[in-house]
């Protein structure tokens, strides 16, 4: 085995002649925008309850997603994924509003029975790999083309809550 130097695509493009310009958010510099939201879960919320946190354009690039939660008790857990916007005016033409694209795209069955301290769940499910991070969200989701409109970032409970409390999500993205 020998010592090697491995260049990223960004460095390879800078070494090219002529240089290849990097697109913002795809190897090039960009500003991260953040959005955060809190949803109140109730002790009476049952399995498959859906909590809508953000409504975002279909073409953003999600850079990170953080979860924090109060102790919801029992065996409560949540998936965090993406739905088509549940408001017809924000949804792409021909799409049924509120339709799930993938309920566990970012995170799958994250335990929230006990309190959750700020935790990065960007790829907790193993689905949103680093190879997908520079793609627009619609493409990372595996859609054939950009449907336009907006997507809802949502948590879906996979078990009943035993006590109420807040669930907090914060997302860093590039648009």
pLDDT at 144: 96
**12 phi, psi to nearest 5 deg:** -60, -45
Q: Are residues 46 and 60 in the same domain?
A: yes
Q: Are residues 50 and 95 in the same domain?
A: yes
pLDDT at 98: 94
Per-residue pLDDT reduced to its tens digit, 83-131: 999 999 998 888 999 999 999 999 999 999 999 999 999 999 999 999 9
Torsion of CA 37, 38, 39, 41, to 10 degrees: 150
| Parallel, antiparallel or unpaired: strands 165-174 and 100-111 | unpaired
Q: Are residues 35 and 23 in the same domain?
A: no
Q: Are residues 13 and 57 in the same domain?
A: no
DSSP structural state of residue 142? T
Conformational region of residue 124, where left means phi above 0, alpha means psi within -120 to 50, and beta covers everything else: alpha
- Write out the residue range of the structural domain in which residue 26 sits: 1-30
> Considering the entire predicted model, what is its pTM?
0.85
Residue 64's DSSP bridge partners are 172
Closest CA to 148 of 56, 63, 82, 32: 56
Q: Are residues 42 and 73 in the same domain?
A: yes
Per-residue pLDDT reduced to its tens digit, 147-166: 999 999 999 999 888 888 99
Average pLDDT, stretch 67-85?
94
Residue 97 and residue 83: Cα distance in Å, rounded? 8
Of 8-22, 23-37, 38-52, 116-130, where does the model show the most confidence? Answer: 116-130
Q: Are residues 67 and 153 in the same domain?
A: yes
Mean pLDDT of the chain: 91
pLDDT at 5: 72
Q: Which two tokens stand for residue 25?
A: 């958010």
Element (H, E) at 39: strand 33-41
Q: Are residues 61 and 75 in the same domain?
A: yes
Q: Are residues 22 and 80 in the same domain?
A: no
Q: Are residues 9 and 36 in the same domain?
A: no
């Amino acid at each position: 085995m020998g010592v090697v130097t491995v260049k990223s695509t960004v460095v390879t493009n800078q070494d090219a002649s002529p240089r290849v310009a990097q697109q913002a958010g795809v190897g090039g510099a960009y500003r991260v925008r953040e959005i955060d939201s809190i949803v109140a879960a109730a002790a009476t919320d049952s399995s498959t309850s859906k909590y809508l946190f953000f409504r975002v354009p279909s073409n953003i690039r999600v850079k990170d997603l953080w979860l924090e939660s109060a102790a919801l008790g029992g065996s409560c857990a949540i998936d965090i994924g993406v739905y088509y916007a549940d408001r017809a005016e924000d949804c792409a033409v021909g799409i049924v509003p509120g339709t799930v694209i993938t309920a566990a795209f970012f995170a799958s069955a994250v335990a929230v029975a006990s309190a959750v301290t700020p935790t990065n769940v960007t790829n907790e499910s193993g689905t949103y790999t680093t190879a997908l991070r520079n793609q627009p969200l619609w493409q990372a989701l595996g859609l054939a083309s950009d449907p336009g409109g907006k997507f809802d970032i949502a948590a879906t409970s996979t078990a009943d809550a035993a006590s109420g409390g807040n669930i907090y999500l914060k997302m860093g993205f590039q648009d």
